[in-house]
Structure 1
């Protein structure tokens, strides 16, 4: 009797393949998430700039009187 039977080796190979696939998918998900996050940051920035502009437009006539 050998310490590792062929079925054990086969199982280890399958586990290794599944682990490699999972790591590849994880890296792909990270890339996708980073792209989505990069595309979303301008929206809040534009909203803040527009609100500051609207506030300035509302306050300037009040102060000038």
Structure 2
């Protein structure tokens, strides 16, 4: 069974290089974590915007006039104007 405690390298230059490498890797992970957090925030904002647009679109679709009904109202209006003009 191996000992879980890390052993120090014999050469001090190797120890310094490993410490610098550890710092560089930690800095890289911090940068990646920050970028991922920003992407997650933007995704949440985009999801919220899409939900709001979906709600607005559904409301617009519920409140619009169907085209055949609009055509019928326009036809009746023009017929009423024609009959009114013919009677005068």
Name the larger-Rg structure. 2
With normalisation by structure 2, the TM-score equals 0.53
Q: Which runs of 5+ in 1 are unaligned?
A: none
Q: Tell me the CA shift for residue 59 of structure 1.
A: 5.3
Of structures 1 and 2, the one scoring higher in RCO (CA 8 A, sep 6+) is 2
1:4 equivalent among 3, 10, 13: 10
- Cα separation, 1, equivalents of 2:25 and 2:11: 21
Q: Tell me the CA shift for residue 21 of structure 1.
A: 0.8
Structure 1 runs of 4+ with >6 Å offset: none
- Cα separation, 2, equivalents of 1:58 and 1:27: 46
Q: Which runs of 5+ in 2 are unaligned?
A: 1-8, 70-88
SS at match of 2:55: helix
